[in-house]
Amino acid sequence: MMRSLLALLVFFLSLHINGQGRAQTEPSIGLLSKVILDVTRKPAEQDWVKAERGQTLDSGDMLKTGEKSLAIVKLKDNSLLRVRERSEVILTGTSGTGGFSKQVTLSGGTVGFSVKKQQPNEEFRFTSPTSVASIRGTMGMFSMQDTLDLLTVTEGAVTLTNNLSQQSVVVEAGQTGLSYASGRLEKRPTTDKELSAFQELFKGTENGDRSKQLKLQLRNERGELRELIIELE
């Protein structure tokens, strides 16, 4: 627990320093909050190295997961990404006046997302060679397959655009969007199989990714019992 708290402290200090100095080209955009089995990381212009929990991620970093592996990324706006097994992504971010825009580029695999509501001057999107998914604040799963991309939305709504045809469709909660390499774009109700895949990916979120609480019973000067709640990451 202490190591996790120290890692978070270093992470947020680094965000403050980057905001004051290292400009906008390489902001620290997130933290690896969990690493399971075979997860590797490739900082920009460097070789692949083993990823470890608590590492800070900079814009341009790549993540890759092996068989039966998982990486959970907490972005500095508290959005969560769950990079499923056999996936590869590039994380980029830019900080502008009063806003922080993020992009997750898939070259294969599946990423689950729980994105905090974005401000008017912020942007969050997933990209692939086939599609762009623009997210304002929602939950779901984006998957890149051989001939199409699948976007499953469980909360909120996402605008899905096909890069070839430039057609767009709004995919709402309970729907799955299909964006084909041929340019075709459609949406339909989410199947039980797709919903089960999402639930499996986010299983344990309540206990694993969200804040834990330390509750202390204290008495004030009048002897009255009060409960102090401290949020822990």
pLDDT tens string 92-103: 988 766 677 899
CA distance linking residue 3 with residue 22, whole number of Å: 26
pLDDT reading at 19 higher than 80:
no
User: Tokens 């899905």 appear where?
Assistant: 160
Name the average pLDDT for the chain. 81
Cβ 24 vs Cβ 96: under 8 Å: yes
d(CA 233, CA 225): 26
Could you tell me if residue 223 is left (phi over 0), alpha (psi between -120 and 50 degrees) or otherwise beta?
left
pLDDT at 232 over 50: no
By percentage, how much of the chain surpasses pLDDT 90? 56
Give CA–CA dist 233/229, Å, rounded.
Answer: 13
21: left (phi over 0), alpha (psi -120 to 50) or beta: alpha
At 223, is the secondary structure helix, strand, or coil? Answer: coil
Instruction: Kindly state the average pLDDT of the residues 73-82.
Output: 90
Lowest mean pLDDT among 134-143, 144-153, 193-202: 193-202
User: What is the pLDDT confidence band of residue 117, given thresholds at 50, 70 and 90?
Assistant: confident
Q: Is it the case that residue 2 has pLDDT exceeding 90?
A: no
pLDDT above 70 covers a percentage of the chain that reads 74
Q: Look at 51-55, 79-83, 120-124 and tell me which has the smallest mean pLDDT.
A: 120-124
| pLDDT at residue 199 greater than cutoff 50 | yes
Please report which residue ranges of the chain form alpha helices under DSSP H: 2-20, 192-201, 205-208
On the 0-12 / 13-18 / 19+ scale of CB atoms within 10 A, 143 is: buried
Q: Give the DSSP per-residue string, 138-172.
A: -EEEEEE-SSEEEEEEEESEEEEEETTT--EEEEE
| φ/ψ of residue 9, rounded to 5 | -65, -45
Structure tokens at 85: 């097994």
Q: What are phi and psi of 20, to 5 degrees?
A: -90, -30
Given pLDDT bands bounded at 50, 70 and 90, which one contains residue 220? Answer: low
**Interior angle at CA 95, CA 14 and CA 26, nearest 5:** 55
Query: Against a cut of 0.95, is the pTM above it?
Result: no
Q: What is the mean pLDDT of residues 3-29?
A: 47
Query: Which pLDDT score is estimated for 4?
Result: 46
- Going by pLDDT thresholds of 50, 70 and 90, the confidence category of residue 143 is very high
Name the token pair of 133.
């998914």
Listed as own residue / partner, the contacts of 132-136 with beta carbons closer than 8 Å and 24 or more positions apart are: 132/160, 132/161, 132/163, 133/158, 133/159, 133/160, 133/161, 133/177, 134/158, 134/159, 134/161
50-64, 125-139, 192-206: least confidently modelled range: 192-206
Q: What is the pLDDT of residue 30?
A: 87
**Position 189 pLDDT exceeds 70:** yes
